[in-house]
């Protein structure tokens, strides 16, 4: 009974979130009872509009033509053609709304038998405004009014710009070339919007009829002598063989026109222009035709393009550059869509996509890479958010170098693991050389710097609390620092740091730490992809394997050291006491050597390892590492465990009265 009640409530909530709407169609107004969730579309223009509104997931049926396959419809099945619906296939996808238009409008009554259907044909006259009205109606139906308005505003702005630039450019002959046949498009044709909206002076005669144009001869073209010829290639659009528009118009009579002599004959890629106007498909089509068409996808290019047109210098070199930008633009669009849908619906190989599409945009070109002879750049993720270098604000200092960025990221990701306490992390060459918690950030910095003051020189310092003036003074009095990272800086701190203008000071967003999805490492000829090391340790996961259990303070230090060793290059050993590191052994080929280096560093800074705790990023393969730790005075050890000699290692710990915890989790870092 309760299950039925909950189901009824859920159904009522779904209905509450839907809404009835009246949709203007070519057959009059149609009442839509609730927002459609499954749509079948037999019109490429409507398909393009729905995709632009972000409704691709709702589309369950599309025509089988190849141009429909260019659109991102992850849930769609083929349900016939633009002209002939397949009623069986249509019924199988269970649509709750079917859209037909000019090519399929005659089948409205047939598809109505499957589900509610609407005719969204757009008349040839006033096509542009009718198209905008259809866009806004669909936006209202699907509660996408804001998206529809944004698209409308962008189209109108572009229209106004083109209209301004097109003024006074002479007569335009708009043609449909169908093999050897030529038809003239006039103001009342499907190309009429070129005149009504863009102000182009279309060549026509008063007796013209039909939206598909009227037949004309080469003699007519010569007689009209247009300044521009705009030629749509129908055979290319529908994929049929025959003479191309270029071949047909390569004629002595056409050669005598102003348009031909000035190179102002335009042959747009017509597959999507003839079938569908708009969207990425149109951008790609224009880019493919760069020899005749300049396609502009960025407002940043408007000044150069306008100047080139005004000077008569809209040359091939410029069109080639614009073409490359256009393909990059549409590739970025497709890449974003693929990355959004593939994890949910695409083919996966054990959780990984068949193709890995990197989705990063250029942030800045760096002075050089790891070394001066290497070029380098910083790319940021489209989804960058929270406390990251991609979203950080630089307050002062020189630009970041490749090494600065690598070290700063390591410092930032480490310090963010301690949200409950003021923390300071100092990093040098991608390894922590000091880390500490404190009652305040000054105390944390003091303890972190004390761990390895030699290595801290020229390092990166990250805090998880705002930097005050006192701490800033202490830093610049003690050491040279490359980069300072903190979520905030008070006025006194900024005044102090301004005395050292070369210090790079970055304000990190305070939204907190957001774990990354994938870690990428390039190989020669390939790419390694893995999940980021997000392994978290709960106290319930800890396994005490020795006779002696760690005390409260020892356990606190063990868990702190475990968080730090996660950021140290393997093989890694971290010694800690009182919430601070006192010795770090990083990047050794032997774990016992890493232990010895950690002890050596502690002693070199006057820090006695006696009574400290030790964290190891991987298991001890032999007991010698435990013996070395005991000799230094270590009282407790945290390590993954899992060695075939675990029993020997545990026995050694018991012999030295060392408390030992197994985590069951390794933290290798290469």
- Give the residue numbers annotated as catalytic, written as ranges: 288, 429
Distance, in Å, from the CA atom of 284 to the CA atom of 286, rounded to the nearest integer, reads: 5
413-419 LR contacts (CB < 8 Å, sep 24+): 413/513, 413/567, 414/462, 414/563, 414/564, 414/566, 414/567, 415/462, 415/463, 415/464, 415/485, 416/387, 416/464, 416/512, 416/513, 417/513, 417/563, 418/464, 418/563, 419/464, 419/512, 419/513
Distance, in Å, from the CA atom of 52 to the CA atom of 504, rounded to the nearest integer, reads: 42
3-state DSSP helix/strand/coil percent for the chain, to nearest 5? 40, 20, 40
Phi and psi based region of residue 218 (left: phi greater than 0; alpha: psi -120 to 50; beta: remaining) = alpha
Phi, psi dihedrals of residue 504, rounded to the nearest 5°: -80, 115
- As beta bridge partners, residue 119 has 100
On whether the CB atoms of residues 571 and 618 are closer than 8 A, the answer is yes
On whether the CB atoms of residues 616 and 638 are closer than 8 A, the answer is yes
Distance, in Å, from the CA atom of 542 to the CA atom of 665, rounded to the nearest integer, reads: 10
Write out the DSSP string of 471-525.
HHHHHHHH--EEEEEES-B-HHHHHHHTTSTTSEEEEPPSS-----SEEEEEETT
Phi, psi dihedrals of residue 543, rounded to the nearest 5°: -120, 110
Distance, in Å, from the CA atom of 285 to the CA atom of 269, rounded to the nearest integer, reads: 5
Within 10 angstroms of residue 549's Cβ, the number of other Cβ atoms is 12
Torsion (CA) 461, 466, 472, 474 in degrees, nearest 10: -80
On whether the CB atoms of residues 427 and 419 are closer than 8 A, the answer is no
On whether the CB atoms of residues 236 and 247 are closer than 8 A, the answer is no
Distance, in Å, from the CA atom of 573 to the CA atom of 599, rounded to the nearest integer, reads: 9
Distance, in Å, from the CA atom of 335 to the CA atom of 280, rounded to the nearest integer, reads: 12
Structure tokens at 414: 């480490």
Phi, psi dihedrals of residue 266, rounded to the nearest 5°: -105, 130
Q: How is residue 576 annotated by DSSP?
A: E
Phi, psi dihedrals of residue 43, rounded to the nearest 5°: -155, 125
Distance, in Å, from the CA atom of 194 to the CA atom of 187, rounded to the nearest integer, reads: 8
On whether the CB atoms of residues 395 and 507 are closer than 8 A, the answer is yes
On whether the CB atoms of residues 152 and 135 are closer than 8 A, the answer is yes
Cα atoms in the 13 Å half-sphere on the side-chain side of 168: 3
Which residues 6+ apart lie within 8 Å of 153 measured at CB? none
End-to-end C-alpha distance for the chain, whole angstroms:
57
Distance, in Å, from the CA atom of 88 to the CA atom of 61, rounded to the nearest integer, reads: 12
């Amino acid at each position: 009974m309760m299950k039925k009640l909950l189901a009824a409530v859920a159904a009522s909530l779904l209905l509450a979130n839907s809404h009835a709407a009246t949709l203007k169609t070519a057959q009059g107004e149609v009442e839509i009872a609730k927002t459609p969730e499954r749509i079948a579309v037999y019109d490429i223009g409507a398909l393009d509009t729905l995709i632009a509104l972000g409704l691709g997931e709702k589309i369950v049926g599309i025509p089988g033509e190849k141009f429909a396959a260019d659109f991102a419809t992850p849930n769609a099945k083929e349900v016939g053609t633009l002209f002939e619906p397949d009623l069986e296939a249509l019924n199988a996808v269970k649509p709750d709304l079917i859209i037909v238009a000019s090519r399929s409008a005659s089948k409205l009554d047939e598809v109505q038998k499957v589900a509610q259907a609407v005719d969204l044909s757009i008349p040839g006259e006033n096509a542009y405004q009718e198209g905008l009205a259809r866009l806004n109606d669909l936006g209202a139906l699907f509660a996408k009014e804001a998206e529809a308005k944004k698209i409308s505003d962008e189209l109108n702005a572009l229209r106004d710009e083109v209209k301004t630039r097109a003024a006074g450019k002479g007569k335009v002959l708009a043609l449909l070339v169908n093999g050897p046949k030529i038809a003239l498009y006039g103001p009342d044709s499907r190309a009429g919007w070129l005149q009504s909206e863009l102000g182009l002076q279309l060549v026509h005669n008063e007796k013209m009829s039909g939206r598909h144009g009227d037949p004309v001869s080469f003699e007519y073209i010569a007689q009209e002598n247009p300044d521009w010829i705009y030629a749509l290639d129908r055979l290319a659009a529908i994929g049929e063989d025959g003479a191309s528009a270029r071949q047909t118009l390569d004629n002595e009579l056409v050669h005598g026109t102003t348009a031909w002599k000035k190179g102002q004959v335009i042959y747009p890629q017509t597959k999507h222009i003839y079938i569908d106007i708009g969207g990425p498909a149109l951008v790609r089509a224009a880019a493919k035709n760069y020899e005749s068409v300049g396609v502009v996808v960025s407002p940043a290019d408007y000044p150069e393009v306008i100047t080139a047109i005004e000077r008569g210098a809209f040359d091939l070199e410029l069109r080639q550059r614009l073409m490359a930008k256009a393909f990059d633009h549409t590739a970025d669009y497709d890449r974003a869509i693929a990355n959004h849908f593939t994890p949910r619906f695409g083919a996966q190989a054990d959780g990984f996509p068949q193709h890995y599409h990197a989705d990063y945009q250029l942030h800045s070109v760096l002075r050089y890479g790891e070394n001066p002879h290497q070029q380098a750049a910083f790319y940021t993720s489209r989804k960058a958010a929270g406390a990251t270098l991609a979203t950080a604000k630089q307050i002062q200092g020189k630009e970041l170098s490749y090494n600065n960025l690598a070290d700063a990221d390591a410092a930032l990701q480490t310090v963010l693991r301690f949200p409950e306490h003021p923390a300071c992390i100092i990093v040098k060459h991608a390894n922590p050389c000091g880390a500490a918690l404190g009652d305040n950030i000054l105390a944390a910095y003091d303890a972190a710097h004390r761990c390895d003051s030699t290595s801290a020189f020229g390092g990166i310092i990250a805090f998880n609390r705002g930097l005050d003036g006192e701490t800033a003074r202490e830093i610049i009095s003690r050491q040279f620092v490359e980069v300072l990272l903190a979520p905030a800086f008070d006025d006194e701190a900024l005044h102090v740091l301004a005395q050292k203008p070369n210090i790079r000071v970055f304000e990190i967003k305070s939204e907190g730490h957001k774990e990354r999805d994938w870690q990428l490492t390039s190989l020669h000829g390939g790419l390694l992809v893995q999940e980021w090391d997000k392994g978290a340790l709960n106290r319930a996961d800890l396994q005490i394997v020795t006779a002696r259990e760690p005390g409260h303070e020892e356990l606190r230090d063990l868990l702190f050291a475990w968080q730090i060793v996660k950021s140290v290059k393997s093989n890694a050993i971290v010694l800690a006491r009182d919430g601070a590191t006192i010795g770090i052994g990083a990047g050794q080929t032997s774990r016992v050597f890493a232990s010895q280096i950690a002890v050596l560093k502690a002693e070199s800074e006057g820090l006695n390892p006696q009574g400290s705790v030790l964290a190891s990023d991987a298991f001890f393969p032999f007991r010698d590492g435990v013996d070395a730790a005991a000799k230094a005075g270590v009282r407790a050890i945290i390590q993954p465990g899992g060695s075939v000699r675990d029993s020997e290692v545990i026995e050694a710990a018991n012999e030295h009265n060392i408390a030992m915890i197994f985590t069951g989790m390794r933290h290798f870092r290469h």
